[in-house]
Amino acid sequence: MPYYVYILLCQDGTFYTGSTKNVDARAKLHATGRGARYTKNHPPKKVAYVETFPLRSEAMRRERAIKKLSHQQKQALITSQTPKKAAADLGKEKI
């Protein structure tokens, strides 16, 4: 089963990075304020970026690396993603 690392764009322009087995279900939790303390206070606007990994350990390692990036570096990572992989607005389309 694949694991995913994702970046949410929050309504205030900040980013939240996490990892999960199911991006759609996790995004819905964040949207309802039950996904993480950060997204409860900074509601997500959309899933901006997703990466897939075969192992949980690899996804967690990548999540830690992304969390260390600056806001500008995360923005560059998001804009470098191919349009095919770009994520949709929360609740409108499955990832």
pLDDT score for 82? 62
pLDDT at 32 over 90: yes
Tell how strand 15-20 and strand 44-53 pair up: unpaired
> Per-residue pLDDT tens for 43-89?
999 999 999 999 999 999 999 999 999 999 999 999 998 654 444 44
Tokens read off for 24 = 């759609």
pLDDT score for 85? 47
Reduced to 3 states (helix: H, G, I; strand: E, B; else coil), residue 8 is: strand
Using pLDDT thresholds of 50, 70 and 90, give the confidence band for residue 6: very high
For the chain, the domain total comes to: 1
Q: What is the mean pLDDT of residues 20-29?
A: 96
95 within domain boundaries: no
**Enclosing domain of residue 60:** 3-85
The candidate with the shortest Cα–Cα distance to 86, out of 44, 25, 95, 15, is: 95
90 within domain boundaries: no
92 within domain boundaries: no
53 within domain boundaries: yes
35 within domain boundaries: yes
Residue 10 is part of a domain; what is its CATH number?
A: 3.40.1440.10
